[in-house]
Structures are given as C-alpha cells and as structure tokens.
C-alpha cells in the first residue's frame, strides 16, 4: 500500500455549507472539511464573498473545499482570488488535463453507475470522489447512492472519497466497503438544501468515528510496518 492510500482514520467532509452557524457546528462536532458550492444551478450555491466571510471565521486546521461544475479556469481563479479555499473539487465533466492545471490541491468527482464509470477513475492523477450518477444536468446532491458492490476489488493510486446518499443509517455499510480516505455528506445531514441539522451532523460524525474505534487500535500496532 502506497503513501497515497495509507490512512489511519476516515475523515469527514460536510458539503453544501451556506451558513456560518452550520459551519461552526460542523467543526465543533469534528468535521475535517467543509464544502462550498459555487455552481449557480445548485440549491446549495453560495456567493464566493459570502463563503469567504464564513471561512475567515473558522478556526485553524479546517480544510475548505470549493465545488465547481464545468467552470473555466478563469472562473475558478476568480473565486480563488477572493475566497481562501484550501482545495478544489471539480464535479463536472472536467478532463484529467484540466484537473492537473491547478497548483492548488484538486479532487475530481466521478459519477458511478457502471463498471465503465469506474474505469474512468484511473485516468485522473489525483484524489477522486465517487458519487452517484444523477439525471442529466444535475451534478450531485441528490441524496441517492450507487451500487457499492461495484467497488469489489477496485483500487486507485490516490485517496478515494465516498459520496452520494450517505446518512447515519448507512454509515456502517459504507465503512464496511473499504478503508475510505473520507466520507462526504450533504443532504444526509440537512433539513433542507443548504440548511444543516445539528443533531443529524452529530449522529453522522459519531457513527463514522464509532466504526473506527477497533480499526484504530489495529492501525496503531501496524505503524512502521508499511513502506512509505
């Protein structure tokens, strides 16, 4: 197992943040990353200046991810110029070459509905987020999951993140599929698009962490045994 795949703990990203209180609650509860949607057709869209105002009030060591859908490099750079994001998430039909054009960290979302979709993952030299395929013109945030049995034997040279229909009810099933670098949840912790629910976030984060207690002990004993 290489350095890209090695992980002692599955991280948690709360996506679709639109309110400061939701952002602060997510961080207090233990979220590692927050996602901000800069796709104007999404019900979770946030203006870059509004996102910047939220990010500047966050404590240190919280990853902030900007989600873009088929935006031009100029459009993305414009947002980066006013919004202090740590990562870029490309959620449209962007090519591997486009993903490699940014000096900032990039994660590519790939919609999964068949083995052919999984074959596309290998073409991206970066972390990949596996999401459920949505209807034409819709890019994520549907609350639907794909068939996780498609992932049997699947691997990628970079970290893998699972999204699509995640909730506290299926966390254990998701964690049983493989060692994920992170889980990315949006609608599963909402009362409406872009409006997060404190108790749902609390229960989701607790469920992810609860699945890792035994595994963390095993990982601790294996430290130093894997080549980097």
- Which pLDDT does position 143 carry in this prediction? 67
Q: Does residue 6 form part of some domain?
A: no
The number of distinct structural domains making up the chain is 1
Q: Does residue 146 form part of some domain?
A: yes
pLDDT tens, residue by residue, 152-170: 999 999 999 999 999 999 9
Q: Does residue 193 form part of some domain?
A: yes
R_g (Cα) of the chain, nearest Å: 17
Q: Does residue 5 form part of some domain?
A: no
190-192 and 195-196 beta bridge pairing: antiparallel
Q: Residue 139 — pLDDT band, cuts 50, 70, 90?
A: low
Are 140 and 165 in contact by the 8 Å Cβ rule? The answer is no
Catalytic residue among 83, 99, 131, 184: 131
Q: State the Cα–Cα distance between residues 223 and 207, nearest whole angstrom.
A: 24
Q: Residue 189 — pLDDT band, cuts 50, 70, 90?
A: very high
Are 130 and 175 in contact by the 8 Å Cβ rule? The answer is no
Reference 111, options 97, 136, 132, 85; nearest CA is 132
Catalytic residue among 8, 15, 25, 219: 15
Q: State the Cα–Cα distance between residues 46 and 84, nearest whole angstrom.
A: 14
Instruction: Read off the pLDDT of each residue in 219-228 and give the average, rounded to a whole number.
Output: 41
Q: Which residue has the higher pLDDT, 216 or 179?
A: 179
- Which pLDDT does position 24 carry in this prediction? 98
pLDDT tens, residue by residue, 11-70: 999 999 999 999 999 999 999 999 999 999 999 999 999 999 999 999 999 999 999 999
Q: Does residue 147 form part of some domain?
A: yes
Q: Does residue 141 form part of some domain?
A: yes
- Exposed, middle or buried, 120 (CB in 10 Å: 0-12/13-18/19+)? middle
Q: Does residue 227 form part of some domain?
A: no
- Whether 152 is catalytic: no
Q: What percent of the chain has pLDDT over 90?
A: 82
CATH number at residue 20: 3.20.20.70
Q: State the Cα–Cα distance between residues 170 and 180, nearest whole angstrom.
A: 14
Q: How far is CA 81 from the centre of its chain?
A: 22
- Whether 8 is catalytic: no
Q: Does residue 58 form part of some domain?
A: yes
SS3 state of residue 87: strand
Q: Residue 225 — pLDDT band, cuts 50, 70, 90?
A: very low
- Which pLDDT does position 3 carry in this prediction? 45
190-192 and 87-90 beta bridge pairing: unpaired
- The DSSP symbol for 148 reads G
Residue ranges of the alpha helices (H) in 169-212? Answer: 171-177, 198-210
- Which pLDDT does position 96 carry in this prediction? 96
Reference 98, options 74, 79, 80, 81; nearest CA is 74
- Residue-range definition of the domain harbouring residue 209: 11-222
């Amino acid at each position: 197992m290489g350095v890209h795949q090695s992980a002692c703990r599955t991280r948690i990203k709360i996506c679709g943040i639109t309110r400061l209180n939701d952002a602060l609650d997510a961080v207090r509860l233990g979220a590692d990353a927050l996602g901000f949607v800069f796709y104007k057709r999404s019900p979770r869209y946030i203006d870059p200046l509004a996102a910047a105002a939220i990010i500047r009030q966050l404590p240190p060591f919280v990853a902030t991810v900007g989600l873009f859908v088929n935006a031009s490099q100029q459009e993305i750079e414009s947002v980066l110029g006013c919004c202090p994001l740590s990562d870029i998430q490309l959620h449209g039909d962007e090519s591997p070459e486009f993903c490699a054009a940014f000096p900032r960290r990039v994660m590519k979302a790939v919609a999964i509905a068949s083995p052919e979709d999984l074959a596309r993952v290998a073409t991206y030299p970066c972390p990949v987020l596996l999401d459920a395929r949505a209807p034409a013109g819709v890019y994520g945030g549907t609350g639907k999951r794909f068939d996780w049995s498609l992932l049997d034997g699947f691997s990628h040279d970079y970290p893998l993140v699972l999204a699509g229909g995640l909730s506290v009810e299926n966390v254990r099933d998701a964690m049983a599929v493989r060692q994920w670098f992170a889980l990315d949840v949006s609608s599963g912790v909402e009362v409406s698009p872009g409006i997060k629910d404190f108790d749902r976030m609390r229960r989701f984060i607790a469920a992810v962490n609860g699945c890792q207690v035994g595994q963390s002990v095993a990982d601790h004993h294996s430290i130093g045994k894997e080549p980097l």
